[in-house]
Chain A
Amino acid sequence: MQVDLSRFRETFFQESAEHLAEMEAGLLRLDQGAFDSELLNAIFRAAHSIKGSSGMFGLEDITRFTHALESLLDRVRSGEVAITRKLTDLLLRSTDLLRELLAAGSAGAAAPTRMEGVLEELCVAQRAETYLDDKPRTRQTDHAPASSQAAAYRVHFRPPADVFLQGMDPLLILRDLAHLGESSSAEIDISALPTLGELDPERCYLAWNVRLETSKSVEEIRDTFAFVEDGAEIRVDPEVSTPVAATPGPAPSAPAVPAASRDASIRVATSKVDKLVDLVGELVIAQSMAREVVENFSPARMSQLQEAIAQMERHIRELQERVMSVRMLPIGHIFGRFPRLVRDLSVQLAKNVRLEMAGEETELDKSVVEQMSDPLTHLIRNAIDHGIEPVDERVRQGKPEQGLIRLQAFHQAGSVVVEISDDGRGLDLERIRRKARERGLIHGDEPLTEAQIVDLVFRPGFSTADQVSDLSGRGVGMDVVRKNVEALNGTVNLASEPGRGSKVRIQLPLTLAILDGLSVRVGAETYLLPLVSISESIRPRPEQLKTLAGRGEVVMVRGNALPLLRLHRILGVPTDVDDPSKGLTVIVEHSGQPLALLVDELLGQQQVVIKSLEAHYRKVEGVLGATILGDGRAALILDIAGLAQMTRRAAGSELAA
């Protein structure tokens, strides 16, 4: 019978990734000095599980490697091998390699060449024991080696006395024996049977002598007794002198496991799916109610119809939210590798740093989580590289030797906030200003608020590293972090206290495809502004409107001069409303800076589904995407950052003109 296991490959890789994460977490704790036997057992079991399952899929490299790893871990937990930094280093490197092996296995690629080297190290670390050349004897074959002649054998079998206590029925063995042969006859031997009074029903006193004609080999005959060999009397003697040449047939190759490319997939809690099924059911009911009212309609039933439709709307909205939540992953998914990163970096940079994480269970859309991985990694590297001071400097400042980096995620009013804070040196504003001037990002001595100076860090081409350290200076910069976050409709801000530390705050929408928007009218067109960026909207009094030299039009709000963006101009839409005091200005926030957007009219708040503009057209500056309004028209969703950019450019060219 053919059993096809290929459908389980995906599960195997997912599960192995989890085991690997467990192993690494355990090893890190071990590295930090935690020691208890349960921890070691857990680490061992994780390796053991991966090994066991990998064999089922013919992933020999993984099986071989994890076997060596397991052997070493076994010795560690039995106390034969001491736990040293060198050992945990080796073990952590092995988990890295194992991760690569799993990735290679999943993609059908060859194992990395350094595998043999690490294998060697694992063996050496075991010290005494020579590495068992344990090429998994793949699948003990059931296919009998072809042997042409049938021969007769005399088989004597006395099972161990306690065979029943092992749950084995000797008759089953005899049955198997009989199946081996073309003919057989058995004779029972009751010579050891005591009297009824002395008989212990749980002991076996019987033996059998079997004459068997078979073309199977002696080995195979003996094989039937495999489980009872210990303590049993077994003799297999050929009756005929002609030896049966047991030529072992070719071992069947491992079932071909196609190196299929993995589809992206997610694991979903069944409770989530159940709830979805329920909701769809309720929606169907609401819909049939609505249909019934429509089919037997009379004006008197109008309110019933409205109620039915309202109910459908509620269900649809909930369905929308829940379907999106299926894609939600806890952010801990990417947090997982940070402890390891921090450890490696601290060692590499000779700093003493501790990482504290909170809120790993905070859920985000799957693709948001995935796209946050690089930015967060960069920010943590930054914190260790530039933020945390070397030990002696910290001591001089009266700070604890060990620096602290805190990574925290939480929900806040419809967004997810991720904060990375450190207790290092904070930002040196003067240095930033200097560098910005050097790189031509600012000119002269224009007055800049603290917030504006901090914001310079996010400009492309900026880096205060004295040497572009291999780690943080390489191609990823704060500007890329900001771009990535903004591409997800999020915002990122930086705050710092010199000498005390810095904090990066990333705010992300809970879901990607649905946006809470404020719809506004400019001329004959309707646009949507992301609600999350909006702080307020006002109708300015004429005296609040000014034009400042070098800054253009501004609106004075509580003493601050906010740049005024005339949307009709930026978007090229004709409108009657030219005077801002006759229209409405929506105050939005961008990169820590407030801006005032001039629109004709506010239309209302609504939740919309974001449709891609790039799918069939292309990216348009100032536009985040599109949506379909209730009346079927397409409407553009505006991108505040893009609008600000467009305004800056226009202002620049005006000045140049």
Chain B
Amino acid sequence: MQQLETASSTAEVNQFLSFTLGAEEYGIDILKVQEIKGYSAITHIPNAPPHVKGVMNLRGTVVPVVDLRAKFSMEPVEYNKFTVIIVVMVGEKIAGLVVDAVSDVLNVAASEVRPAPDFGARCDTRFIKGVVSINDKLAVLLDIDKLLRDEDVAVGA
């Protein structure tokens, strides 16, 4: 489990949890993150969209697991014991996001966030809050609410 440090909040600084999918770096609002889990058995759900991998047992509650690689139409990878699941809470609903690895907690000033480019982004720009430059790399900040509420996924519909 990761240690999540709290920020000394100055105005306009938000915290994001960054993680990797393939070669890309992404971030989601830390306030939505409930916990980070190692991989646990996922039970298949019949006739679900391809990015809804199934459900898992989170301390007695059954929550859906979304594979972000599939959602962004990337190549699937084999799940193993190093796979990480980020448990997020959107509204009243809890869901797990399968990612390759978790990187860091980023303190991002609102001024540093640039709007998403119209092209070249792997994922649908609907789900992007913006991009931010970290150590020469570009991290894509995701709007996790939109992503999970998306009709496509229909999680929490």
Contacts and interface: CB of A to CB of B under 8 A. Distances in A.
A binds B: yes
Interface in B36-51: 40-41, 43-48
Most B Cβ at <10 Å: residue of A571, A611, A617, A626: A617
A572 B61 contact: no
Nearest to B47: A572
A634 B44 contact: no
Contacts of B40: 632
B120 to A, nearest CB: 32
B63 interface: yes
Main secondary structure of the interface of A (DSSP, over half): loop
A570 B44 CA distance: 13
B144 interface: no
B62 interface: yes
B18 to A, nearest CB: 25
B95 interface: yes
B99 interface: no
A572 B46 contact: yes
Contacts of A525: 43-44
B43 A571 contact: no
B155 A615 contact: no
B156 interface: yes
A107 interface: no
B142 interface: no
Interface in B47-69: 47-48, 52, 55-57, 60-64
A613 interface: yes
Contacts of A636: 43, 45-46, 55
A621 B47 contact: yes
Contacts of A622: 46-47
A616 B62 contact: yes
A616 B40 CA distance: 17
Interface in A599-657: 611-613, 615-618, 620-623, 626, 628, 632-636
Contact of B94 (A616, A620, A621): A616
Contacts of A621: 46-47
Interface in A574-613: 611-613
A394 B95 CA distance: 62
Nearest to B155: A617
Contact of B57 (A570, A572, A618, A632): A632
Q: A interface, how many residues as a size bin?
A: 20 to 34
A626 B41 CA distance: 14
Nearest to A611: B62
B114 interface: no
B46 A623 contact: yes
Contact of A570 (B46, B63, B157): B46
B41 to A, nearest CB: 5
A42 interface: no
Contact of B43 (A612, A618, A635): A635
Most B Cβ at <10 Å: residue of A570, A572, A616, A633: A616
B93 interface: yes
B154 interface: yes
Contacts of B64: 616-617
Most A Cβ at <10 Å: residue of B40, B43, B56, B94: B43
Interface string A501-521: 000000000000000000000
11 contacts: A525-B43, A570-B46, A573-B46, A616-B62, A616-B64, A620-B46, A621-B46, A626-B62, A634-B57, A634-B62, A636-B55
Given A572-B46, A611-B61, A620-B45, 17 more contacts: A525-B44, A611-B62, A615-B62, A616-B62, A616-B64, A617-B52, A617-B155, A617-B156, A620-B48, A623-B45, A626-B62, A628-B62, A632-B57, A633-B43, A634-B57, A635-B43, A636-B43
Among all A-B residue pairs, the 10 with the closest Cβ atoms: A571-B46, A617-B64, A626-B62, A634-B43, A633-B41, A634-B57, A616-B63, A616-B93, A611-B62, A616-B94
Interface of A: 525, 570-573, 611-613, 615-618, 620-623, 626, 628, 632-636
